[in-house]
Amino acid sequence: MQPFSTHTGKVIPLDRVNVDTDQMVPKQFLKALTREGFGRILFYDWRYLPGEKPNPQFVLNFPRYQGASVLLTRANFGCGSSREHAPWGVKDYGFRVILAPSYADIFYNNCFKNGILPAELSEEQIEELFQRTEKEEGYSLTVDLPSQTVTDNHGLKYNFDIVPSRKEVLLKGLDDIGTSLQHEKEISAYEKANAATATMFDPVDIKNYANGR
């Protein structure tokens, strides 16, 4: 996973509360087995008219916001079902940062597993960013994870909080497997020390136990 340190990018304003994962990636697209291609279907029902014609009324299709990599939105972002396809779509579209006042817990956790920074700012700070984004075409922000700051080119500076363990995961570019491999020596030592215990069980007994017999 690509490490995250500092990101500067154009901001796109999604001015909706309670955006749920079912809208981010509708259920008919959940059969895919890889993470690629979900950017095209992100916010599918809002983004397209019948025949996958771009909906000119939806913000992702506005010419001024093309190429945006910072998603600005409202409270309780990522609510609904726990599908991990939602952050897959967010990342595959090109977003590295989400700015919102609050997030659904499961979506928030899944963002870190996929190299996305979901920074939390106050309602007042988010409102100010909405106003600046809509006023200035091409408005961009710099999000610095080491210093935990959000800044623009006009002197604005906001700080955000993040749990140290979450911060470390992004800075080092670690997914769940990568995090586990940091303790590879300890895991190997434990497996070696407990190998004798594992061989005490007859394979047939283990199979019967697994089958509930």
- pLDDT-based confidence at residue 160 (cuts at 50, 70, 90): very high
Terminal-residue alpha carbon distance, the chain: 42
Q: Count CB atoms within 10 A of the CB of residue 87.
A: 28
Which residue has better confidence, 1 or 213?
1
Q: Note whether 119 and 162 are within 8 A (CB).
A: yes
Q: Model confidence over 3-57: pLDDT tens digits?
A: 999 999 999 999 999 999 999 999 988 887 677 889 999 999 999 999 999 999 9
- What is the tens place of the pLDDT at every residue in 124-156? 999 999 999 999 999 999 999 999 999 999 999
* DSSP string of 12-75, one letter each residue: EEE--SS-BHHHHS-GGGTT--SSTTGGGGTTHHHHEETTTEE-TTSGGG-GGGTT--EEEE-S
| Residue carrying the six token digits 């500067």 | 8
Does position 106 have pLDDT exceeding 80, yes or no? yes
Domains and CATH numbers, the chain: 6-210 (3.20.19.10)
To which residue do tokens 């940062």 refer?
Answer: 97
Q: What is residue 187's three-state secondary structure? A: helix
- Residue 181: predicted pLDDT: 43
